[in-house]
Amino acid sequence: MKKNFTILLAMMFALSLIAFGSGENRAGTSSAPELTIPVGARYLGTVGSGVAIASGLEAIYWNPAGVDNARRDVNAMFSFRDYIADINVNFASISSRFSFGTLAISLRSFELGEIKVTTESAPDGTGEILEPTFFVIGGTYSVGLSDRTSVGVTVNAIQESFGRVNASGVSFDLGVQYRDLIGIQGLTTGVTVKNLGPGLKYEGSGLFRQADVQGSDREAGFLQVSAATFDLPTVFEIGLAYSYPIGDENSLMVTSAYQNNNFAVDEYRFGVEYSYDQLLYVRGGYLFSTDPVQGANVATDHVFENFTLGFGVNFANVGNLDIDLNYAYVPAELFNDNHVVGINVGF
């Protein structure tokens, strides 16, 4: 099994080499930025450092290999994030375990609000209102290859529309987790490559412009502007976690992750989760990111602070249900602080 894990790791590393290049020099130029907005509250409470131990439906975003590690055979989850600039992020998913592994479907929707259309002659608005629609529908398959190794893959269908233009595409997330690394109980590692796939290109009637064709006697007509194709924001992550029991009721989980971005600076994430009797959870995380231009430690995209906080409550066997309630606090520098809540129900 160690040989299989090494082969999987090598394949994912090779895929990441194909997808990456230029890094922070291309910041802000990717397509489908919604793929990079984290969902769920549990692992966001440790600043996203749970690549190695993410389990259940939240693992769809962090590492699809962990979806099969849910406590119950059937699970449903919903989370809400009060994001920046009056944007709300909703995430809903459901999974079921079968003899061949776990299948899950998920939906990420983004509420962007209404935008007034303005022109040079009508700076206060033309009366037309745009309502951008961004959503991602995912299908996930995760399976445990042994009591130590699990793998997973997610296929995402991406849809964006803005006025009379739209774009659609597909992306792939691959993940692997390996428990009890080098024979140490509680030591876990995980690797994931996210947002692999072809670039997105906008199309639609909104790209038609009335213009004259130079050097021609033809009357003015409509010509279509050919939009450029932009690559997806691919990321490669590798994580390490260690769970340390403290007596019979307490435990401490220390998590870490390195993230290599093809459209941003690389990031190092560290988190800790304290658990009391598998009932109450307190979390915190810190992100370290080095901007090569400024040569200073800065938060991602200069928008958020470098830390997150969170807590959770697990109600086990409530009417034959497992109910997890989680909250994460993500402080921001330039916008209102983010508040993320999530509920997971296991049947």
Instruction: Please compute the mean of the pLDDT values over residues 172-194 and round it to a whole number.
Output: 94
Percent of the chain with pLDDT over 90: 66
Instruction: Please compute the mean of the pLDDT values over residues 54-80 and round it to a whole number.
Output: 97
- CA gyration radius, the chain: 22
What is residue 185's predicted lDDT score, i.e. its pLDDT? 94
Q: Is 287 helix (H, G, I), strand (E, B) or coil?
A: strand
Asked if residue 248 is part of any domain, the answer here is: yes
Beta strand extents in 163-249 (DSSP E only): 165-179, 187-196, 200-201, 208-211, 221-224, 229-230, 235-246
**In the predicted model, what is the mean pLDDT of the chain?**
88
Contacts of 347 (CB under 8 A, 6+ apart): 72, 73, 74, 75, 76, 320, 321
Asked if residue 215 is part of any domain, the answer here is: no
Q: Is 236 helix (H, G, I), strand (E, B) or coil?
A: strand
The listed range with the strongest mean pLDDT (107-111, 246-250, 259-263, 296-300) is 107-111
What is residue 303's predicted lDDT score, i.e. its pLDDT? 82
Beta strand pairing call for 267-276 and 250-261: antiparallel
Tell me: pLDDT of 63 over 70. Answer: yes
Q: Is the model's pTM score more than 0.85?
A: yes
Asked if residue 219 is part of any domain, the answer here is: no
Asked if residue 207 is part of any domain, the answer here is: no
Tell me: pLDDT of 342 over 80. Answer: yes
CA distances from 97 to 40, 68, 147, 346 (A): 21, 7, 16, 11
CATH number, domain containing residue 296: 2.40.160.60
Asked if residue 212 is part of any domain, the answer here is: no
Domain count of the fold of the chain? 1
What is residue 108's predicted lDDT score, i.e. its pLDDT? 97
Contacts of 339 (CB under 8 A, 6+ apart): 81, 82, 327, 328, 329, 330
pLDDT tens, position by position, 40-55:
999 999 999 999 999 9
The residue range of the domain holding 69 is: 2-202+224-346
CA distances from 102 to 72, 105, 165, 192, 234 (A): 11, 10, 36, 18, 25
CA proximity to 334, closest of 304, 314, 290, 307: 304
Asked if residue 213 is part of any domain, the answer here is: no
CA proximity to 111, closest of 138, 129, 90, 130: 90
- Region of poorest pLDDT, from 89-103, 296-310, 322-336: 296-310
Instruction: Please compute the mean of the pLDDT values over residues 11-23 and round it to a whole number.
Output: 52
Asked if residue 88 is part of any domain, the answer here is: yes
Tell me: pLDDT of 301 over 70. Answer: no
Burial class of residue 85 (count of CB atoms within 10 Å of its CB; 0-12, 13-18, 19+): exposed
What is residue 296's predicted lDDT score, i.e. its pLDDT? 42
- Region of poorest pLDDT, from 62-66, 90-94, 121-125, 295-299: 295-299
Asked if residue 209 is part of any domain, the answer here is: no
Token pair recorded at residue 301: 């995209």
Instruction: Please compute the mean of the pLDDT values over residues 208-237 and round it to a whole number.
Output: 80
Is residue 251 within 8 Å of residue 277, measured between CB atoms?
Answer: no
With bands split at pLDDT 50, 70 and 90, how would you rate the model's confidence at 179?
very high
